[in-house]
Amino acid sequence: MSQKQKSEDAVWADVSVVIVTYNSAAVIESCLNPLLAAAKIIVVDNASTDTTCATVQNVSSDIEIIRNDKNIGFGAAINLGMAQVDTRYGFAINPDAITQPGALEHLIDVADTFPGAAIICPQIHNSKGDLEMPVMGPGEIHHQPMKQSVGGNFCTWFVTGAALLYRTVAWKDIGGYDETMFLYSEDNDLAIRTSQRGYSMIIAPEAEVIHSGGKSSKPSSHIVWLKNWHMTWSHLYLTGKHVNENVARQEARRMAVRYFLKATLYWIVFRWDKARRDGAKFSACYNYLFRPLSIAREMGER
């Protein structure tokens, strides 16, 4: 065995992979195949009703599957998987993302080079080749898309949760994801708390992941409704947590009026898809204002 091969084996022995699935049978095999050399692969399945778990087992019987009896949400499922990680690093990746050759080795090399970094993020492109790299500045809580690729490693105040290498010790110190958020904005919150704990986050453009966003689970009108609901609710919760609760409630009231009027108008003109979309956003605003925090989890488990 060559010295290069020994080096690569040692690198893979340092990392465990965590993947959260929910009706992801169509994409999970492509996600898993480039990662089979990892010390451990943990799939946390959020009560899929398709053949996701069977597909995972067909890929490799060595993959550990944690089968939840209900959908507990993205952040909570990542926390559950990361709790099983005993290697120096944990690599969490969406099931509709594919790690490109050499990417994970490069991420670990960057993490070893910068021991103060808690999270290393690859450069992410969609299936059309377009850059999918949102970033935000110090003191900000909402991210914006990065306009163009950067040639070398750089620090940031946000890294997208689609594919991330976590330093396990730092992950435990930060406390993982806030499980109040069932879906969306949990990576914003994690990034803010990472900076608050004094850790850095690095984007490593030489490591690449292809992400076919929105294909982690089979689309349906119900899934689209829930995604719009959670995107809106989590946005308000994040604002209340890291800016000011009064600011979040004022924004929720403005948004509730706007989305109620838009949903009504779309309903009148028979634009059912847009009416459902804005109806979901109105519902999220209303529930943020008048229902307890547990409503986010209750909505996700439906």
Q: Is residue 115 part of a domain?
A: yes
Q: What is the pLDDT of residue 22?
A: 94
Q: Is residue 216 part of a domain?
A: no
The tally of domains found in the chain comes to 2
Q: What is the pLDDT of residue 302?
A: 56
Q: What is the pLDDT of residue 146?
A: 82
Range of the domain at 235: 221-300
In the predicted model, residues of the chain with pLDDT beneath 70 are 1-8, 213-219, 292-297, 300-302
Q: List the CATH number of the domain containing 63.
A: 3.90.550.10
Q: What is the pLDDT of residue 3?
A: 37
CB 257 within 8 A of CB 272: no
Q: Going by C-beta distance under 8 Å and a sequence separation of 6 or more, which residues neighbour residue 55?
A: 25, 28, 29
pLDDT tens digits, residue range 61-81?
999 999 999 999 999 999 999
Question: What are the backbone dihedrals phi and psi of residue 61, each rounded to the nearest 5 degrees, phi first?
Answer: -75, -10
CA-based torsion, 66, 70, 71, 73: positive or negative = negative
**C-alpha torsion angle, residues 262, 268, 271, 276 (rounded to 10):** 60
CA-based torsion, 83, 89, 91, 92: positive or negative = positive
Residues 143 and 24 in one domain: yes
Q: Is residue 109 part of a domain?
A: yes
pLDDT tens digits, residue range 191-229?
999 999 999 999 999 999 999 865 555 667 888 899 999
Q: Is residue 7 part of a domain?
A: yes
Residues 129 and 252 in one domain: no
Query: Hey, what are 280's tokens?
Result: 């979901």
pTM (2 d.p.): 0.90
Helix (H, G, I), strand (E, B) or coil at 172: helix
